[in-house]
Amino acid sequence: MAGPPIHVLDDYYLAITLLVTIAYQLLFFSIAFAFKFDKLTDFAGGTNFALLAILTLALSSNGTTPDARQLVASLFLIVWALRLSGFLLFRILKTGKDDRFDDKRDKFLPFLGFWIFQMIWVWVCSLPVTVLNSPAVRSYPQAPFGTGRDIAGVVLYSVGLVMETVSDAQRFRFRSRNDRSAVCDSGFFYVSRHPNYFGEIMIQFAIFMIAVSAAADGFVSGAAYAALYATIVGPLLLTVLLMFVSGLPLSERPGAKKRYEAGQNWDAYARYLRRTSILIPFPPQLYERMPTILKRTVFLEFPMYVFDPAKHAGDSHRSAEEGTTARKNDDNRQSGDRLFSGEGQRQGETS
């Protein structure tokens, strides 16, 4: 018979996971700051997820075999985290340094700010697994694994992991060619400009779906029921970060502007932007003909991502753009699209 979960600080493992996350990130921060060493930054973030999943699973099982739902959700988080951290470590070893820290590496507080941000990201996005493994939830009888929601979560996770893994490899191979005029429009990038982001979002919502089944199927009630549903803040935070903070805003308009002003095969790239969904995979032949209002709403290509040469390019490029705008307008059969020939860019592809 299974022993009771080990109680540590609180019933939801919130305090212990927060303390472990802070200590783990500060350890790597001290190394990075002292030696001006970039190569372990993303590795520290990814492995922190795995550490929390292993810790809470071990405390919850208390020397016995955990149930299937705990194992699946925890292992899914561990596999994703180790895959991501391993890839990022491999990439930074190849590239040599992380350009994100060029203006922060020697400044204690700005550099520490990044690591605090990473602490929040890891701790919050781990919450579905943390709470699922906690004594507050494990004190209730658990629904057998294999419900429709569980199966849907497994399928969603599998698709997301394949999409993120393959698109990361495709992007790395494309960038290794070092051809700044080329457009990465094959593989998953044929149907989405950011398939790796879309896959990561799918993964996090899939883990939440599996974790919340304990509440959704009526086996958990009270505060534990509310806590499980509240862990949706994890996948929501990840989505907000990718869409509004550190993902699309840093790659879409700035990347398109850089390519346009450098004259790096802009016409081919503008065509790719018109035809390719920014996030949700969709056939480019259909996306190109889609009304702008649907692109800006259903397909999440918000105006903040859009590069308009007339507004956002440097002065030296505007006169040339003005000379070609009229001709492009005549060929544009979709009203509202005429100023958006440069609607975004995948991060790093043309840098």
The per-residue pLDDT for range 22-65, each reduced to its tens digit, is 999 999 999 888 887 777 888 899 999 999 999 999 998 876 77
Question: What pLDDT, on a 0 to 100 scale, did the predictor assign at position 332?
Answer: 39
pLDDT in tens, 287-310: 999 999 999 999 999 999 999 888
Contact between residue 292 and residue 340 where contact means Cβ atoms under 8 Å apart: yes
Question: What pLDDT, on a 0 to 100 scale, did the predictor assign at position 202?
Answer: 97
Residue 76 amino acid letter: F
How many other CB atoms are found less than 10 A from the CB of residue 170?
Answer: 18
**Which residues, other chains included, contact 178 with Cβ-Cβ below 8 Å and sequence gap of 6+?**
none
pLDDT in tens, 99-111: 666 666 667 888 8
Contact between residue 205 and residue 295 where contact means Cβ atoms under 8 Å apart: no
Taking the CA of residue 337 as centre, how many other CA atoms within 13 Å lie in the half-sphere pointing to its CB? 22
- Whether the per-residue pLDDT at 343 is higher than 80: the answer is no
The predicted model scores a pTM of 0.84
307 has which bridge partners? Answer: 342
pLDDT in tens, 157-210: 999 999 999 999 999 999 888 888 899 999 999 999 999 999 999 999 999 999
Taking the CA of residue 82 as centre, how many other CA atoms within 13 Å lie in the half-sphere pointing to its CB? 11
User: What is the spatial distance between Cα 155 and Cα 39, in angstroms, rounded to a whole number?
Assistant: 33
- Whether the per-residue pLDDT at 330 is higher than 70: the answer is no
Q: Which helix (H) or strand (E) holds 178?
A: none
**Which residues, other chains included, contact 170 with Cβ-Cβ below 8 Å and sequence gap of 6+?**
184, 186, 187, 188, 189
Question: What pLDDT, on a 0 to 100 scale, did the predictor assign at position 125?
Answer: 97
- Whether the per-residue pLDDT at 238 is higher than 50: the answer is yes
Report residue 315's pLDDT band, with 50, 70 and 90 as the boundaries.
Answer: low
pLDDT in tens, 106-145: 678 888 988 999 999 999 999 999 999 999 998 888 788 9
Average pLDDT, the chain: 85
DSSP character string of 72-109: HHHHHHHHHHHHHHHHHHHHHHHH-S-GGGTTTTT-HH
Question: What pLDDT, on a 0 to 100 scale, did the predictor assign at position 144?
Answer: 86
pLDDT in tens, 240-299: 999 999 889 989 999 999 999 988 899 999 999 999 999 999 999 999 999 999 999 999
Question: What pLDDT, on a 0 to 100 scale, did the predictor assign at position 324?
Answer: 44
DSSP character string of 111-148: HHHHHHHHHHHHHHHTHHHHHHTSHHHHTS--PPS--H
342 has which bridge partners? Answer: 307
Residue 327 or residue 234, greater confidence: 234
Torsion angle in degrees (nearest 10) through CA of 246, 235, 167, 252: -30
- Whether the per-residue pLDDT at 73 is higher than 50: the answer is yes
How many other CB atoms are found less than 10 A from the CB of residue 321?
Answer: 17
Question: What pLDDT, on a 0 to 100 scale, did the predictor assign at position 322?
Answer: 42
- Whether the per-residue pLDDT at 323 is higher than 70: the answer is no
Contact between residue 8 and residue 16 where contact means Cβ atoms under 8 Å apart: yes
Contact between residue 260 and residue 309 where contact means Cβ atoms under 8 Å apart: yes
Select from 345, 134, 163 the least CA-distant residue to 230: 134
Across residues 317-335, what is the average pLDDT? Answer: 41
Select from 259, 278, 277, 261 the least CA-distant residue to 269: 259
Contact between residue 165 and residue 157 where contact means Cβ atoms under 8 Å apart: no
User: What is the spatial distance between Cα 45 and Cα 241, in angstroms, rounded to a whole number?
Assistant: 15
Q: Is 348 helix (H, G, I), strand (E, B) or coil?
A: coil
Decide: residue 132, CB within 10 A, 0-12 exposed, 13-18 middle, 19+ buried. Answer: buried
